[in-house]
Amino acid sequence: MTITAAIVLLAVIWFMTLYISLPIGMKSQGDVGEVAPGTPASAPSDFALKRKLMWVTIIATPIWIAVCLVIWFVPWSMGDLDFYSGIEPGWKVEREAAAAAGAAAQAD
């Protein structure tokens, strides 16, 4: 894995963790009962972005390290996980069957 791939992987895992954690622990203005004028009742009442970003980083970093270790040290590759390489398309099977039938007809 290259450094660029590791950074992209970290960004993907970090943002997935962020999007999963955003609604956790959120209290809306409607829940609290203090709706500010011009905002919907579903808007967050006390959104602590710094704390949320800190927790996302703390959770995403070990996940990223685990995924990197699996990519670097697992003895199998993506080629070993290719379950569809033995499946041939239907048109190829039909063409080979037609060619075999034609060859058998010429032999007669």
70-97 pLDDT tens trace = 988 887 777 777 777 777 666 666 777 7
- For residue 26, the surrounding DSSP H or E stretch is none
DSSP type of residue 28: B
Structure tokens at 44: 């967050």
**Whole-prediction pTM value?**
0.65
Paired strand residues for 28? 44
- When computed from its CA atoms, the radius of gyration of the chain, rounded to whole angstroms, is 28
What is the per-residue pLDDT across 29-63, written as a single tens digit (0 to 9) for each?
888 888 888 888 888 888 888 999 999 999 999 99
Residues 6+ apart with CB under 8 A from 63: 13, 17
